[in-house]
Amino acid sequence: MILKEARLWKAIEDDYRPLPISRRGAGHSLNKEDEERLRAVAFSRPKWRLAAHCMTIMLSTTMGFGELRQLRRRDVDMQQRCVTVREGAKNETRERTIPLNATAFESMSWILDRWKKLGGGSDEHYILPHRPRTRSSHWRTKAPWILDEPMTAITSAFRQIRAAAGLPAFRIYDCRVQAITKLLSNPMVSTQVSKEIAGHISQAMQNRYSIQRFETKKAALDALENPSVPPPEKPETAMHPTAQQPASADLIQPAIQEEIDRLRAEIARLADRQSDLALREHPPAPNASEKPTHPRRRRKSDTGDPREVIFHLRRPAKNLISFPTRSA
């Protein structure tokens, strides 16, 4: 870039060969059993408690330790349960706001309580302050906490944790790799969401950080042998709202199904009664084009002539009460 700015790059451009980059990925990812063992070992001793909470936040937020140690009190919103990464990010795409799940929120609460006990009170103070080492004749003498400077590392404690867990190859930065791998392995998480959480924008960076576990690859290949076939769709039939059956009636509990049948019968009875009352109050006029069928009642005409008979047609009752379907 400097040579291009000075207009000297073209002289050696044809002879330039970039250094090879490892294609094995950016770190290591753990299976579920190893991750649970790592978490359990980290919280087994009080002297590892700070490193354990930092590791938990990294595993739950995709942050690296360089981003976590640069968090100030103003960057942590406990009401909205989120953190804003500003300092410590490598580029602008790594500046982001990350929500805190239940596990990360609990660990962040512990870190903020520790920050208050150490004297933190300003929004500009780092939540992980620095404590320098001092040389003194008395070994119990310790330097005061510097709240305006972030802590340097948790390497010593994390090295002991991974040794006790039997994971010597797992690094601190692999906590971020583990979180990104789990995000990209979850089919319920879209690619755009994982980009905004992890701070990556290119597919090459995703391929570098997403180290899929062996179990995930095996499950994907097993699905090739037993593909799931969706059931055939049933043709829709035009049904009356009161007679339409739920789409998943076989999944309804028997007690609920009995109650539905009872309500349907009651609605049908009320509909018939309502139709009878309507016919008594407002009898329909005779229509010469219709042939009388199913006589229900025969009565004399108003003139008193028994030969003049009025037949009432049995018409389908108009159901004024519709039973809600399962889709409603």
- Domains parsed from the chain with CATH numbers: 23-133+141-214 (1.10.443.10), 252-311 (no CATH)
Q: What is the DSSP string of 39-69?
A: HHHHTSSGGGHHHHHHHHHHHHH---HHHHT
Report the length, in residues, of the chain. 328
**Unique residue bearing structure tokens 């180290």:** 211
* Residue 201, both tokens: 């924008």
| Residues contacting 29, CB < 8 A, separation 6+ | 174, 177, 178, 181, 211, 212, 213
* pLDDT tens-digit series, residues 3-30: 888 888 888 888 888 777 665 555 778 8
Mean pLDDT score of the chain:
77
Task: Give the Cβ contact number of residue 95 at 10 Å.
Answer: 15
- pLDDT confidence band for 206 (50 / 70 / 90): confident
Q: What is the DSSP string of 70-139?
A: T-BGGGEETTTTEEEE-TT-SSGGG-EEEE--HHHHHHHHHHHHHHHHTT--STTSBSSEE------SST
Beta bridge partners of 85: 96
- pLDDT confidence band for 255 (50 / 70 / 90): low
Give pLDDT, residue 249: 44
* pLDDT tens-digit series, residues 267-294: 888 777 777 766 666 665 555 555 555 4
* CB neighbour burial string for 55-64, b if at least 16 within 10 angstroms, e if fewer: bbbbbbbbbb
Give pLDDT, residue 259: 78
* pLDDT tens-digit series, residues 101-156: 999 999 999 999 999 999 999 999 999 999 887 765 555 567 889 999 999 999 99
Give pLDDT, residue 278: 66
